[in-house]
């Protein structure tokens, strides 16, 4: 197949926007040139398989609109792929709040921002699961397959897309609460126990005594449930290729 620069460039715009948001690849400690090179390589592999797009028929305004559309599609698909990472970070924040650890922060190497300790742990756990099980291959393959249902220059906003996007966004909170549920349950049990003790022994300093028990019990449960959390995260990461295809269908109005 002959090389079509315009096709390659349009694919490069969508792919570059996707990698700009995709977890791990979008980390600030990943050099920009590496991301650009990866996007260029993916585009070089994908562009010859797509039908040529008649760019020469477009005026300047239409061409700018086309580039904005392809960038928006890539950003949207990247945001869909990143939602599980948002959910695990939310779970870590909830756990830190329950255990009283939200005042102590840790330097997040991926964003160069201070984050809750448990939030950083959950983010790194999700990244390790994705890379160890090679699930990032499936995500990249799922993105590549979206060109089959959402060709260059295609896509438009519709009610079904908004409904699916809002539903997918709301699942962030559901997943985060499900991951943090064991620690929340232990924290609740300890709180109820010391509430009863405060009624039985009014002289007891309930707040001071319960603080250490809540942290110790919560961290033990957090450590024991990390394997279950990793399996839960792996299941959601494994469904990402199909979800990318589903959103590709919705964006394309199919």
Q: Give the CA distances from residue 217 to residues 143, 189, 224, in Å, rounded to whole numbers and listed in that order.
A: 42, 10, 11
Number of H helices, E strands in the chain: 9, 2
Q: Give the CA distances from residue 139 to residues 22, 120, 126, 152, in Å, rounded to whole numbers and listed in that order.
A: 9, 22, 14, 19
**Average predicted confidence (pLDDT) for the chain:** 85
The domains of the chain are located at: 5-251
Binned at pLDDT 50, 70 and 90, residue 181 comes out as very high
Residues 52, 56, 62, 64: is their CA dihedral positive or negative? positive
pLDDT digits (tens, 9 = 90+) for 145-156: 999 888 888 877
Instruction: Tell me what the mean pLDDT of segment 33-43 comes to.
Output: 89
pLDDT digits (tens, 9 = 90+) for 72-84: 999 999 999 999 9
What is the signed CA dihedral for 222, 104, 92, 135, rounded to 10 degrees? -100
Q: pTM for the full model? A: 0.84
């Amino acid at each position: 197949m002959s090389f079509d620069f315009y096709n390659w460039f349009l694919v490069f715009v969508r792919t570059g926007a996707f990698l700009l948001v995709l977890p791990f690849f979008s980390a600030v400690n990943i050099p920009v040139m590496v991301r650009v090179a990866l996007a260029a390589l993916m585009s070089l592999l994908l562009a010859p398989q797509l039908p040529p797009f008649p760019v020469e028929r477009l005026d300047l305004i239409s061409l700018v609109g086309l580039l904005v559309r392809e960038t928006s599609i890539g950003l949207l698909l990247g945001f869909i792929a990143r939602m599980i990472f948002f959910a695990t970070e939310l779970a870590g924040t909830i756990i830190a709040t329950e255990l009283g650890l939200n005042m102590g922060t840790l330097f997040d190497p991926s964003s160069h921002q201070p984050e809750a300790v448990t939030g950083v742990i959950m983010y790194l756990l999700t990244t390790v699961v994705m890379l160890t099980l090679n699930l990032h291959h499936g995500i990249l393959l799922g993105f590549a397959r979206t060109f089959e249902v959402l060709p260059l220059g295609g896509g438009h906003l519709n009610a079904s897309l908004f409904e699916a996007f809002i539903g997918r966004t709301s699942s962030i909170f559901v997943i985060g609460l499900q991951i943090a549920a064991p620690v929340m349950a232990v924290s609740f049990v300890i709180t109820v126990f010391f509430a009863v003790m405060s009624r039985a022994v009014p002289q007891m300093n309930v707040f001071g005594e319960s603080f250490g028990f809540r942290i110790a019990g919560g961290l033990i449960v957090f450590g024991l449930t990390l394997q279950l959390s990793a399996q839960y995260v792996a299941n959601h990461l494994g469904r990402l290729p199909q979800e990318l295809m589903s959103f590709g269908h919705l964006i394309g109005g199919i």
